[in-house]
Amino acid sequence: MAVRDELGRAKSRSTKFRVQNTSSMGWRSTSKHWWLWMQVVVVLVVLASEFGVHGQDLGTWEILLANAGIASMHAAVTNYGTVVLLDRTNIGASQIALPNGTCRDSNDLVLPHDCTAHSVLFDPSTNTVRPLTILSDTWCSSGQFMPDGTLMQTGGDFEGIRKVRTFVPCPATGNCDWVESTTQQLQQPRWYATNQLLPDGRQIIIGGRAVFNIEYIPPSANGPLYFDFLNATNDGQNDNLYPFVHLLPDGNLYIFANRDSIVYNYVTNTVVKTFPRIPGEPRNYPSAGSSVMLPLLASNQFSVVEVLICGGAQYGAFLEPWTRKPCSITCERIVVTDPNPIWVEEQMPIRRCMGDMILLPNTDVLIINGASIGSQGWGFADDPVLNPVRYMPYGSPDARFTTLTPSTIPRMYHSTANLLPDGRVMCAGSNSHQFYTFTGDYPTELRIDAFSPPYLSASVAPIKPTISVYPLQVTYGTPFTVTVSTPSALTTVIELNLMSAPFNTHSYAQGQRLVNLNVGGSVQVAAASVYQITATAPPTPQIAPPGYYMMFAVNQRVPSVAVWIRVTS
């Protein structure tokens, strides 16, 4: 609104100037004419600079699929480059049939005999989907990949609230599908919980609605452990759901819920550090801010850890949605490893809640999706935010944000965003209704689109690297070599960044991390700008839990297409 108002004032001033100077008074002086027009030009230039419209590339959008068959409440990219999309089952029929004429008979509240799919596998190389079979309700569930690449998916609602499901990825042409365990279930019901892969390969599952404890997969012998932090951060809106969880390089967990955060030692079940309360609004579901742990850097031996939290809804926006309270405009950043950490506030260009924060391979953060009014919930938000915003964490503090090209598709409640191996960010979903509803201001969204950040523009082609030779597996702390080619000769050392494939849901990417590798330099091995780069694998599983990562080569902040590499002991 501020943008439109300022542009309107500039246009008004320009129009007024033209009327005054074409009246019977004539031109009073050439110098005055020049000066007034310069004022108008300055206003427009300032506006263009503020919103990034000054010749630089601001990214592009493309529709990948007009109808995925389901809305996307959860999404994860597999090590085959395919994307698993999930919606809830207790929603009635979707728009894609189960394969081979099969149907699902269950105690579903809406459609007990259901012949449609509520999960699909999307192939970005062909922009097609294949239906998958999910049997129990995955509404507001959680998940993360295991070390062998299996997607572990837990909890949900109704008959799915204790379910454990697995998806073993296969090539896009394969027939892999969901398997729901008949012998294992969660020790506690989990709805709106968070999963985190641990250094030993287990998953820790934290919280859920009215569940103030933690548990593990595989389960621990002593059962769920009471976790008072979740009880202490509860409020009248339950703003401690989907807590933000980041595995720290020392093996402890940084856990944020509502407005408070701690460092938790899960081995001893103790809180080892407490942080100041974050200023402003609640930040977790249903208030729906988002969080990332900023890249772990080899340059400081992975010893400095910063967490960034952006957006959120005002308290009461969920309890009284008719008030249409404006969302937060702040980002708060804290150095977790500081002896006396404090929150440092920055202002986003646009108010936002329900935004997704996606780490990009060049260490930037993309803030995408969401609304500027309201909170999460059925129809509780308005004024969708169509412009992604780029945040450059290592840029000048007064120039870290850039407003990028807007989408044409509102994506608010129950939407997802995931980084693809080619560097695009895929967006799917948005359904602020209890069932599929294709009328009204914000109908259920079945389209899939992708945003190409500025580093994918044609102008950077001369410096874009390509990975040609690489190991499929590396061992902690050991050196390895990668062959990289560039269209033009290198002027800087190529960076190598490992990026996890998180489980994205409800404005938070569970398990997301970027690990910048220690690179010893590059040696030119051919005249055509081909280089052999020596790097060292992450030193410990605390820095990079075992599993599959996308490895990007980055030349002057321009990333290659990623290759998949497994990190293991």
Q: Is residue 223 part of a domain?
A: yes
Domain match, 18 and 82 both? no
Burial of 127 (0-12, 13-18, 19+ CB in 10 A): middle
Given 406, 435, 456, the domain boundary residue is 456
For the entire predicted model, the pTM comes to 0.89
Going by C-beta distance under 8 Å and a sequence separation of 6 or more, which residues neighbour residue 24?
Answer: none
The domain boundary, picked from 421, 437, 456, lies at 456
Residues 432 and 505 in one domain: no
Determine the Cα–Cα distance for residues 21 and 28; give it in Å rounded to an integer.
Answer: 8
Report the candidate in 509, 478, 490, 476 with the shortest Cα–Cα distance to residue 553.
490
Torsion of CA 170, 203, 137, 73, to 10 degrees: -70
- Do the domain assignments include residue 95? yes
Least confident of 33-47, 108-122, 167-181, 454-468: 33-47
Judge if the upstream peptide bond of residue 169 is cis by omega within 30 degrees of 0: no
Give the H or E element holding residue 565: strand 563-568
Instruction: Quote the CA–CA distance of 375 and 229 in Å, as a whole number.
Output: 23
Quick check: is 394 in a domain? yes
Q: Can you say whether the dihedral through the CA atoms of 16, 19, 23, 28 is positive or negative?
A: positive
Which residues 6+ apart lie within 8 Å of 453 measured at CB?
59, 360, 364, 366, 390, 404, 423, 424, 425
For the chain, the maximum distance between any two Cα atoms, rounded to a whole number of angstroms, is 92
Measured CA to CA, the distance from residue 369 to residue 204 in angstroms comes to 28
Read off the tokens for 15.
Answer: 């129009």
Is 358 a member of any domain? yes
Q: Rounded distance, CA 216 to CA 187, Å? A: 9
Long-range contacts of 96-105 (CB under 8 A, 24+ apart): 96/68, 96/69, 96/70, 96/120, 96/129, 96/131, 97/131, 98/131, 98/133, 99/130, 99/131, 99/133, 102/133, 104/133, 104/135
- What is the pLDDT confidence band of residue 222, given thresholds at 50, 70 and 90? confident
Q: Are 46 and 66 within one domain?
A: no
Tens digits of per-residue pLDDT, 328-380?
A: 999 999 999 999 999 999 999 999 999 999 999 999 999 999 999 999 999 99
Percent of the chain residues past pLDDT 90, beyond the cut: 85
Q: What is the DSSP letter of 237?
A: T
Cα(212)–Cα(176) distance, rounded to whole angstroms?
35
The whole domain housing 21 covers 2-50
For the purposes of burial, counting CB atoms within 10 Å of the CB of 58, is it exposed (0-12), middle (13-18) or buried (19 or more)?
Answer: buried
**Co-location of 183 and 45 in the same domain:** no
pLDDT digits (tens, 9 = 90+) for 117-175: 999 999 999 999 999 999 999 999 999 999 999 999 999 999 999 999 999 999 999 99
Domains identified in the chain, total number: 3
Find the helix packing angle between 30-50 and 2-21, rounded to 10°: 170
Are 299 and 426 contained in the same domain? yes
- Residues 310-324 have a mean pLDDT of 96
Residues 465 and 404 in one domain: no
Give pLDDT, residue 221: 84
Does pLDDT of 62 surpass 90? yes
* Residue 390 shares a structural domain with residue 411: yes
Report how far residue 44's alpha carbon sits from residue 3's, in angstroms, rounded to the nearest whole number: 11
- CATH number of domain containing 528: 2.60.40.10
Query: Which of 414, 434, 456 lies at the terminal end of a domain, its last residue?
Result: 456
Does residue 55 sit within a domain?
no
Q: Given this model, what pLDDT does residue 568 score?
A: 97
Quick one: 102 and 195 in the same domain? yes
Q: For the ranges 26-30, 138-142, 293-297, 305-309, which has the lowest average pLDDT? A: 26-30
Phi, psi of 508 (to 5 degrees): -140, 130
Q: E strands, 454-555, where?
A: 466-469, 473-475, 479-485, 495-499, 503-505, 508-510, 514-516, 518-526, 530-536, 547-555
Q: Tell me, yes or no, whether 382 and 466 share the same domain.
A: no
Q: 502 and 377, same structural domain?
A: no
Write out pLDDT tens, residues 459-501. Answer: 999 999 999 999 999 999 999 999 999 998 888 889 999 999 9
Is residue 374, in this structure, part of any structural domain at all?
yes
Question: Of 551, 420, 567, 563, nearest to 495 (Cα)?
Answer: 551
Q: Is residue 117 part of a domain?
A: yes
Domain co-membership, 438 together with 560: no
Q: What share of the chain is helix, strand, coil (3-state, %, to 5)?
A: 10, 35, 55
Has residue 546 got a pLDDT over 80?
A: yes
- 136 and 104 fall within a common domain: yes
Tell me, yes or no, whether 172 lies in a domain. Answer: yes
Residue 104 CA from chain centroid, whole number: 32
Mean pLDDT estimate for the chain: 90
